[in-house]
Structures are given as C-alpha cells and as structure tokens.
Amino acid sequence: MQRTRFGTIAFFLVVALSGGAGPDAGAAPQTLPDAVVRAHNVFLENDTGFVELQYAAVLELEKWGRFDFAESREKADLVLRLDNGNQVRVLPEGTYPAPRMVPASSDTSVLKGHTRIALLDPKTNTLLWSDLHKTEGGKVKSGHLLDGLREAFDRYERGKR
C-alpha cells in the first residue's frame, strides 16, 4: 500500500505531537544531589523584590519541617534563593550594595511571570538544584511555591526503596 503525501505528513504530525514536541516533554525530572539530601540548615535569600514570596517560602518550609533555618549563609548547609530575574534590594541609608556572586552554572534568565527556586552551595555558590514556579508579583499562582522541591524529595525517597 502506497501512502499519499497528505497521509505521510499527517502520520509524522501525529507522531510528533504524541511524542511530545515541547521542550520539557519527556525530560527526566532533575535528581537531588547528595549535598541537598544531607542538608539540615537552609539560609533563605529573596532576590525577587516581593516579601510575600519570602513569607510563603518560610511558611512552607516551617510546615514541611525538612530543614531548619540558618541565621547566616556561613552557618547554612544550603542556600535557598528565590529569583525572578529582577535584582531589587532595599539597602539601609548610607550603605552600598556588595557584589553578588551569581552561580556560573545558572541560567540568569527567568521566564516572565515565574520565580526560580534554587538551591546553592553556600561556600562555592554552585547551583545544586532549581525549579520554576508560576507567580504574579508576590502571589503564587497555583499550588505552593516549594511544590517542586517537595516532589523532588518524594521522588528521591521512592527511588531509595
């Protein structure tokens, strides 16, 4: 049986669409490095300019109970950085911004309307894990801000069994 030109195009279109033509389709979930799994203390950095997102992260972390809060970056096992591509910070009068270390391995762009949740090594500033969550200003649009992180831990735990 000979395929018509239309039939061949339709066949490839169906295969492409059912196979996931999107950039994230079929991508394996990001695994958690040992440094993240072993961590106990986390220092929260909010680079979004929205204190509401910081409050959401603090409440979710406290409710989850997986991490304790470190009082400084130096005392932390991990840094949890919230970032939306804006680098807005309030500085006390008469002070000047210190240069920020941006992880060399991180993509500095964040999709509009999203917040990146990144876990960094506090000593080297190496990006260990990251996720994007839909936000609108200081509001979390669906679910909870740290859903991706909790799901990554759940996948890790299921994989150990």
pLDDT of residue 31: 82
Q: Is 88 helix (H, G, I), strand (E, B) or coil?
A: coil
- Domain residue extents for the chain: 29-88+103-160
CB 115 within 8 A of CB 156: no
pLDDT of residue 16: 42
Task: Give the tens place of pLDDT for each residue, 114-150.
Answer: 999 999 999 999 999 999 999 998 999 989 999 999 9
- DSSP β-ladder status, 68-69 and 114-120: unpaired
pLDDT of residue 122: 97
Q: Is 55 helix (H, G, I), strand (E, B) or coil?
A: helix
Domain 29-88+103-160 belongs in CATH node 3.40.50:
yes
Q: Three-state secondary structure along 104-136?
A: CCCCCCCCCCEEEEEEECCCCCCEEEEEEEEEE
Give, for 61, the enclosing helix (H) or strand (E): helix 51-64
Encode burial over 74-112: b for 16+ CB neighbours within 10 A, e otherwise. eebbbbbbbbbeeeeeeeeeeeeeeeeeebeebeeebee
